[in-house]
Amino acid sequence: MKPVNIGGHSAYQDRVLTQLRKYYPNAAFLSSSTWQIIDKFWNLNLSQVDELMKDRYSVFGPEPRLPSDMLRAILVSAAFKITSYTRFAADLKENPLHAIISGFFVGDTPGVGTFYDFHRRLWLSSDMNLTNAVHPPKAKPQKPTGKEQKAAPVEKLTVDDLFQQFEKNPPADMAPCAKLWKIFNTFFLQNSASMGLISLNSLALAGDGTPVYTSAQERKTRTCNCLENAIRDCKCNRIYHQPDCDIGWDSHRNRYYFGYDLYMLTASDSENDLPVFPFLSPASRHDSHGFLYNWFSMKKMLPEVNVTKLLNFISNTIISHV
């Protein structure tokens, strides 16, 4: 069935208020930091998400969980630093407060499969990953000689070559994320602009990358028998369990890590450096390339934005009138 949110955000607030009075009648029982989280979600109206997500649901089948509740639950898990769907699905059954803030009735919360199903509906591609899971081993960055220095690029294309390539054909990496981007743009970016926190007509941007750890090590399976022949470092294809991730260098912690590089363009002239456009890349991608992927993707997804200044942390320069 298509999701139908009867009552909208007011219905969510009624559920929260009724259950807080029932399960937490003494307000002093909750800490001030918890009340700050409750207040944030109390004022965050996500009811329009149900309309935006309707095309991702069938007209047949059982009544689904509301997309607004599912998205809110994911944001609640991030607020309480629970980063696993499995752990959070169990937490919702054990912790009434987290279920209430998410918008669910205590004792009627989604299981882990429902979270993965919602995740699949946000991803607009039949492929689970951007990269083919079967490919040769990738080169990892060379360890820098000094502390807190960036690793040298491993890309075969130069920055100039990549720039000219994207001038003709912008990257398509964001295409599967278009639904998630629309939600972020509608409820967060445009809302910040309407509140005067960001000026999209005269935007000053700052860009930089940060490591995102996904696992302790790279997980892969050999497709050859070279190891049986005492050849450990062969270049034969492997099956990678997280093909969009690889090994990068964390210059802040001075160590290798496995995961992504999150290159973020933020509004440098806003009070809290509010995010404007995020882009996840493999960990080994150098920031000079990460910037180009981010910049040309942002121009494609946000054509109405007028950028007047760009702070480039790669060369520590300010480019005016971009």
Q: For residue 55, what is the DSSP state?
A: G
Tell me the pLDDT tens digit for each residue of 142-162: 999 888 888 888 988 899 999
Residue 245 near residue 232, CB atoms below 8 Å = no
CA pair distance 238, 127, nearest whole angstrom: 18
Tell me the pLDDT tens digit for each residue of 159-196: 999 999 999 999 999 999 999 999 999 989 999 999 99
Predicted pLDDT at 53: 96
Q: Where are the alpha helices (DSSP H) in the chain?
A: 8-23, 32-43, 48-52, 67-79, 85-94, 96-102, 112-122, 159-168, 178-184, 190-194, 287-301
Residue 122 CA, chain-centre distance (Å), reads 12
- DSSP sequence for 60-95: SSSPPPPHHHHHHHHHHHHHTT---HHHHHHHHHH-
CA pair distance 65, 99, nearest whole angstrom: 13
Predicted pLDDT at 313: 56
Predicted pLDDT at 312: 65
Enumerate the β-bridge partners of residue 29: none
Residue 255 near residue 266, CB atoms below 8 Å = no
Intervals of the chain under pLDDT 50:
315-322
pTM for this model (two decimals):
0.87
SS3 category, 19: helix
Predicted pLDDT at 320: 42
Q: What beta strand segments (E) does 2-143 contain?
A: 134-135
φ, ψ of residue 282 to 5 degrees: the values are: -60, 150
Number of residues in the chain: 322
Predicted pLDDT at 220: 93
SS3 category, 248: strand
The two structure tokens encoding residue 145: 């000689």
Predicted pLDDT at 149: 85
Predicted pLDDT at 321: 40
